[in-house]
Amino acid sequence: MESVTKGTRDLLTAKLALENGTVFTGESFGASTEITGEVVFNTSMTGYQEIITDPSYAGQIVTMTYPLIGNYGINPEDLESVRPQVAGLIVKEYFDFYSNFRATGSLGEWLTANKIVALQGIDTRMLTRMIRTVGAMRGIISTVDLEDESLIEKARRSPSMNGLDLAKVVTTSSSYEWKEIDRTPFAVKTKGDQPPNGRQWRVVVYDYGVKQNILRRLTMYGCHLTVVPASFPAEKVLEMAPDGVFLSNGPGDPAAVRYGIQNIRKLVGKRPIFGICLGHQLMALALGGKTYKLKFGHRGANHPVKNLRTGEIEITSQNHGFAVDPQSLDPKTIEITHVNLNDDTNEGLRHRELPIFSVQYHPEASPGPHDSDYLFEQFITMMERESVSGARP
């Protein structure tokens, strides 16, 4: 049965100020407070709940380019983490009415309860064009300080993402076993409810800000997951004798996650490794490569990526502000496997001899298309080959 709710809350005046001196005036539909962060944009038409709860957005104020947000409410089944992770949210028009048989409340009520500031009623097209021209900028949203000069100064004093290790902020505080299985219609259609070949693969997941749907997809493919903190020592991982190691997505500057790079270097050649997003960047750094900050990043659910090994084009979900410099990797050792068709940036790599590969985008598709789900099966095949060959130390 469809649930329909009408909101009746009064909206407060709120302002967004950017470090370049631009100020936007709108209305608050979240918590009454102020927050600083890097202002970015996401081009997805749906999936705002998954975006808001994605730990990769820690420290960022996310602008949704789709003009109407909130119309299907909020439900507990689509969370990518236990709470909202964005610093703030900006939309053109917030819709307090929601219509969805799964909804348990409105977006505004949920953001308010979780103390997340949100702004509506500004020209998000102008803001997005500005970010594309100038680049991602530091900004501040406030309902308590409405003085333009004061807000601009606060924005300019706020931290930059460059050199910022946020993986340590969003990671789990202790190791745990993941039990939940993905039982969406897509998951059942893809693999059914039984692990491939009846076997469960023991996988250690490094949590740099892991999304829950990544864990669900790995479980659906027959993996028994132990999730460990971002700084968990590689020596202890090897003591656990896993079949493979997974490097998760996450926020911040990959070059600042030095402990992660060091641990990955100790695992290279010891176990099959699969990395996604920040995990991809850390893998590249561990293999001797370099990373750099993109002008405005890739955030959305429709980014075209070419698989250079097959020639096929995948439409992908992405969320990252840094990228791997492919020229910094040794071509004799590392093969570039994927490239972004919008700007030719690196989207994937594999080691030519060792069971190691990684991608910059999000094959778990939450939200987004399912074109790249095959990568999870590729990881399983890699672990199976290593197990059969007995090649691992």
CATH number of the domain at 149, please. Answer: 3.50.30.20
Of 19, 109, 347, 364, catalytic:
364
Q: Do the beta carbons of residue 271 and residue 243 sit within 8 Å?
A: yes
Q: Locate tokens 């924005």: which residue?
A: 155
Q: How far apart are alpha carbons 96 and 201 in whole angstroms?
A: 44
Question: Is 351 known to be catalytic?
Answer: no
Q: Is the same domain home to 153 and 103?
A: yes
Please state, in angstroms and rounded to a whole number, the distance separating the CA atoms of residues 122 and 247. Answer: 38
**Distance (Å, whole) CA 70 – CA 62:** 14
Helix (H) or strand (E) holding 225: strand 223-229
Burial per residue of 34-68, b for 16 or more beta-carbon CB atoms within 10 angstroms, e otherwise? bbbbbbbbbbbbebbbbbbbbbbbbbbbbbbbbee
Could you say which of 19, 38, 50, 277 is catalytic? 277
pLDDT of residue 165: 97
Around Cβ 271, how many Cβ atoms within 10 Å? 23
Q: Residues 180, 208: one domain?
A: yes
* Cα–Cα nearest to 92, from 64, 56, 115: 64
Look at residue 393 and tell me if it is in a domain: no
Same domain (yes/no): 203, 350:
yes
| pLDDT, tens digit, 9 for 90 and up, residues 210-267 | 999 999 999 999 999 999 999 999 999 999 999 999 999 999 999 999 999 999 999 9
Selecting among 320, 338, 362, 384, the annotated active-site residue is 362
Q: Examine the domain organization and report whether 313 and 350 are in the same domain.
A: yes
Residues 181 and 305 occupy one common structural domain: yes
Is residue 140 domain-shared with residue 188, that is, in the same domain?
A: no
Q: Active-site residue 223, yes or no?
A: no
- With vertex at residue 378, the alpha carbon angle to CA 375 and CA 381, rounded to the nearest 5 degrees, is 160
Of 157, 176, 205, the residue that ends a domain is: 157
Judgement on whether residues 219 and 306 belong to the same structural domain of the protein: yes
Same domain, 233 and 86: no
Looking at residue 188, its pLDDT comes to 41
pLDDT of residue 198: 61
Answer whether residue 344 is part of any domain: yes
CB neighbours of 67 closer than 8 A, spacing ≥ 6? 91, 92, 93, 124
Structural domain includes residue 45: yes
* Domain match, 145 and 245 both: no
Could you tell me the two tokens for 282?
Answer: 């850390």
Residues 149 and 214 in one domain: no
The CATH number linked to 235 is 3.40.50.880
Query: 263's torsion region: left (phi>0), alpha (psi -120 to 50) or beta?
Result: alpha
CA distances in angstroms from 52 to 95, 135, 230, 299, 349, listed in the order given: 16, 21, 21, 12, 28
pLDDT of residue 390: 63
359 lies in a domain?
Answer: yes
Amino acid at 117: V
| Domain end position, chosen among 93, 124, 157 | 157
How many folded domains does the chain comprise?
Answer: 2
DSSP secondary structure letter of residue 122? S
71 C-beta neighbours (distance < 10 Å), count: 18
- End residue of a domain, out of 108, 129, 157: 157
Residue 332 lies in a domain: yes
Residue 185 lies in a domain: yes
Instruction: Give which of 183, 182, 237, 173 is closest to 205, Cα–Cα.
Output: 237
For the full predicted model, state whether its pTM sits above 0.85. Answer: yes
Q: Give the model's pLDDT for residue 297.
A: 97
Residues 6+ apart with CB under 8 A from 48: 64, 69, 70, 89, 107
pLDDT of residue 190: 44
Same domain, 100 and 18: yes
- Give the residue from 150, 126, 124 showing the smallest Cα distance to 61: 124
Range of the domain at 114: 4-157
Q: What is the pLDDT along the chain (393 residues), one digit of tens a residue?
A: 333 344 445 679 999 999 999 999 999 999 999 999 999 999 999 999 999 999 999 999 999 999 999 999 999 999 999 999 999 999 999 999 999 999 999 999 999 999 999 999 999 999 999 999 999 999 999 999 999 999 999 999 999 999 999 999 999 999 999 987 655 544 444 444 445 456 789 999 999 999 999 999 999 999 999 999 999 999 999 999 999 999 999 999 999 999 999 999 999 999 999 999 999 999 999 999 999 999 999 999 999 999 999 999 999 999 999 999 999 999 999 999 999 999 999 999 999 999 999 999 999 988 999 999 999 999 999 999 988 776 555
pLDDT tens digits along 142-177 = 999 999 999 999 999 999 999 999 999 999 999 999
Residue 283 lies in a domain: yes
Together in a domain, 124 and 181: no
- What pLDDT is recorded for position 192? 40
Catalytic status, residue 312: no
